[in-house]
Chains A and B, each alone.
Chain A
Amino acid sequence: METIFTDVLCVGAGLAGERVAIEAASAGFDTICLSIVPARRSHSSAAQGGMQAALGHCAMGEGDCPDVHFVDTVKGSDWGADQEVVRLFVDRAPEAVREMAFWGIPWNRVVPGRSTYFKGGKEFEKVEPTEKEGFITARDFGGTAKWRTCYTSDGTGHTLLYTMDNKVVQLGVTVHDRVEAIALIHDGETCTGVVTRCLKTGKLRVYLAKATVIATGGYGRIYRETTNAVINDGGGAIIALDTEVVPLGNPEAIQFHPTGIVPTNILVTEGCRGDGGTLLDVNEERFMPEYEPEKAELASRDVVSRWMTHHIRRGLGVKSAYGDHLWLDIRLLGEKHIKTKLREVEEICNNFLGIDPITQLIPVRPAQHYTMAGVRTNKDGAVYGLRGLFSAGEAACWDMHGLNRLGGNSLAETVVAGKIVGEKIVEFLQDYEVQYNTGVIRGEVTKQQERIERLISSKEGTEDVYSVRNAMQSELMERVGIFRNGADLQKAVDNLQEIYGRAKKVGLRSKGAGANPELGLALKIQGMVKLALCTAYAALQRTESRGCHAREDYEARNDRDWWKRTLATWKEGADLPTLDYEPATTYVELPPGERGYGVCKIISCDGEIIGEDKS
């Protein structure tokens, strides 16, 4: 078996993985990144609108500071976040943005003087200060008190990833692309690397490392309608869950983005609304001000997605062959703005919808977008349960997002967490030595070889992997979506358990030779259904509404009983996860209160009932 040794192994070469790698390589450690695609195709590249950091240079960001960013983020999380982590994050975000500027990001800059902007369909004027000319500017995003989202047009993830990968190349970090980790190597206490499958040849290869980092992004592809890339199918979360000792944090925390285009679910950025775009219904009338007089289209994503769904349910959606949708209107922003600040949006509309957003409305509806859920780590990025294992970015539940992430905070998290976790790994490695146990390594390799042989020979059955995946995706979409209730969730759990049984009986129709795609999915399908079950089962147990988790049968946020984080592990042979709980945060800078948007119905820590339903 080909075996490669390194100090630090980043599984995933998106923004988070590469930022960790840069920190480790800069400190002199041998570092390898693995990626299932060429690094620059990672899903980080698809992030459009921007990265939040409280620089406070632009006129509408005046007075901004990490403290304001902190409050926005905790409120956005509906108090589900670990406040110590949020504090770490907001304090380091400005530095991270400047560092990326130093490395080459062409951030949009402050242009002094008078200019106009749109809010709620109306035009306003602002004056950018002369003394700030040429500093990094920002745009407005949902759930924020200030304009704080730094951007390069609407290709911010793209420029960040290209610049980050340039830095990786400059430092000579090895990137092995088209390599997929299919199992962690561990003895129940220490992680010492991964078993991989080469996606060029199909061969297995072992990587042994003192520190292994899971930075594989989110897993939106367990849902049928998602903005995520096809590669976001949970590889990192699955190999963590397979260890039996590593928990997923808050698997029920799944974000729906308000503006996926219909029918392809491709994202158009929140920047559309941040820059002044509005949402319209079948009568081409705005509806968000009716529900959210204060924030309107710029409430947090969970809130906007819920009101959109609510409005469609009231029969005010636009009928189409692909189901009801609403309209996103950015016509008022004008040609110049769209052609400079919303270029990808324009291209997406032209190419995939055949419409011109300068003159036409964009059909949109909420689609799965982000997994706040992830591999649970402490504030240093060290994964619970295994020494030598770390995680960062969307793959991790660090946990600065709680039950709802703010737009612009995920790009920021990848870069800031990558930096912080990288620093902590460097500290960890200073006096850390590890022994590679050949028995453990061989045991894991043999297990994977046998799995592959069983799939190729259809030893367990002849279930078709694609129909199993489709059944799982539909189940989550229908019953574990934006609004949830006990009866549907119980049904989802029951059905997913049956689907899990089918997943165990998958056999290949093809020969499975080389980089065979059917085998790639078959190796993951049981893990994907396990992730789906973690989401559905944890959602069933959480009998409150918080952030993205909206229970129609438990409408209040219940701080008395549920100000806590779900931890899901999976024991060998089980058909449900084991759920444990920990306090959402032990450090409290901002006690639970009202968010200022969304339905305010709270059972306080003392059991007091606050607020009422607005609908």
Chain B
Amino acid sequence: MARKLKFNIFRYNPQDPDSSPHTDTFHLEETESMSLFIALNQIREEQDPSLQFDFCCRAGICGACAMMINGRPGLACHTLTKELPEEITLMPLPIFKLIGDLSVDTGSWFRAMYDKVESWVHTDKSFDPEADEERMDNALAEEIYELERCIECGCCVAGCGTANMRGDFVGAVAMNRIARFIMDPRDERSEREYFEIIGTDEGIFGCMGLLGCEDVCPKHLPLQDQLGILRRKMGWSAVKQLFRFGK
């Protein structure tokens, strides 16, 4: 027999003066292959059309639908209700500014991150439309793609101990981005330039090594390895700089 699901959903619409933060409860009969995408849309269409949440691709590709699912950050679209108990509590991601109910403003947070880490290929060359592309080893292209798969859903930030304590921590997503550019020979930044961006307590030295980021990453990115590699690199960079200053 189909389960009766109970949803406890955080509600607050900052644009509505009559609204205050609270939890609403909704009940649904579970259907086959029901995902939180299906469930939340059903609640909105049949029970409360004002319910705010974000879905976009609904295929685990775009990162729009991250939320706290029974206390753990995850993508709602690829979370099947059969993997959850009958009582499901949904909260918006912490750290990001609330727009309403389960919807948060990830766009502003990430744009600030791109500016901080200068998330683009730095080069003095200019593009020659007539020339063949520069060659690259396919294995390296695949390694870069591995880190490029990040979908900026915000789960690693929401699941991060440091980010929850200090608002200026850049998070694993930014560190992963830097690691991607360090790996890319097209980016001509020096180790020192990278160090200036993340060789700080807001960057790699703020990481407490709890590694919640890797546990909750829906794309299973190798964040633990990248954080380790970066910490070593930046540590050496700091030592080298001390040595230089000492002279």
Stretch of B21-29, B112-120, B190-198, B204-212 at the chain-chain interface: B112-120
Interfacial chain B residues near A199, Cβ < 8 Å: 99
Q: Interface 1/0s, chain A 73-106, versus B by CB < 8 A? A: 0000000000000000000000101110111101
B124 interface hit (Cβ, 8 Å): no
| Inter-chain contact A344/B61, CB cutoff 8 Å | yes
A449 interface hit (Cβ, 8 Å): no
Interfacial chain B residues near A134, Cβ < 8 Å: 135-138
Q: How far, in angstroms, from A135 to B133 measured CA to CA in the complex?
A: 7
| Inter-chain contact B145/A104, CB cutoff 8 Å | no
Stretch of A151-159, A299-307, A398-406, A496-504 at the chain-chain interface: A151-159
Interfacial chain B residues near A45, Cβ < 8 Å: 57, 61-62, 151
A568 CB, nearest partner CB in chain B, Å: 28
Q: Interface 1/0s, chain A 221-240, versus B by CB < 8 A? A: 00000000111000000000
A169 interface hit (Cβ, 8 Å): yes
Stretch of A472-480, A507-515, A545-553 at the chain-chain interface: A507-515
Closest residue to B123 on the A side, CB-wise?
A: A102
Stretch of B85-93, B102-110, B234-242 at the chain-chain interface: B102-110
| Inter-chain contact B114/A153, CB cutoff 8 Å | no
> Which of A43, A106, A340, A515 is close to B57, meaning CB atoms less than 8 Å apart?
A43
Name A120-137 residues within 8 Å CB distance of B. Answer: 133-137
| Inter-chain contact A46/B62, CB cutoff 8 Å | yes
B153 CB, nearest partner CB in chain A, Å: 9
A494 CB, nearest partner CB in chain B, Å: 26
> Which of A102, A230, A343, A516 is close to B58, meaning CB atoms less than 8 Å apart?
A230
Q: How far, in angstroms, from A229 to B119 measured CA to CA in the complex?
A: 26
Interface residues on chain B, number (Cβ under 8 Å)? 67
> Which of B50, B133, B148, B187 is close to A98, meaning CB atoms less than 8 Å apart?
B133
A108 interface hit (Cβ, 8 Å): yes
| Inter-chain contact A510/B132, CB cutoff 8 Å | no
Q: How far, in angstroms, from A230 to B119 measured CA to CA in the complex?
A: 28
Stretch of B41-49, B160-168, B223-231 at the chain-chain interface: B41-49
B141 CB, nearest partner CB in chain A, Å: 4
Stretch of A184-192, A288-296, A346-354, A584-592 at the chain-chain interface: A346-354
Partner-A contacts on B (CB < 8 A) = 13-16, 19, 32-33, 35, 44-45, 48-52, 54-64, 78, 80, 99-100, 103, 105-108, 110-111, 114-115, 118-121, 125, 127, 129, 131-138, 140-142, 144-145, 148-149, 151-152, 184, 186-187, 219
Contacts A/B (CB < 8 Å), 25 sampled: A39-B107, A41-B57, A41-B63, A46-B62, A98-B127, A99-B129, A102-B186, A106-B142, A108-B142, A135-B132, A135-B133, A152-B141, A152-B145, A153-B145, A158-B148, A158-B149, A166-B114, A170-B120, A201-B15, A347-B219, A351-B60, A513-B50, A514-B13, A514-B14, A517-B51
**What 8 pairs across the A-B complex have the smallest Cβ distances?**
A514-B15, A134-B135, A38-B107, A510-B50, A518-B49, A106-B144, A177-B107, A166-B120
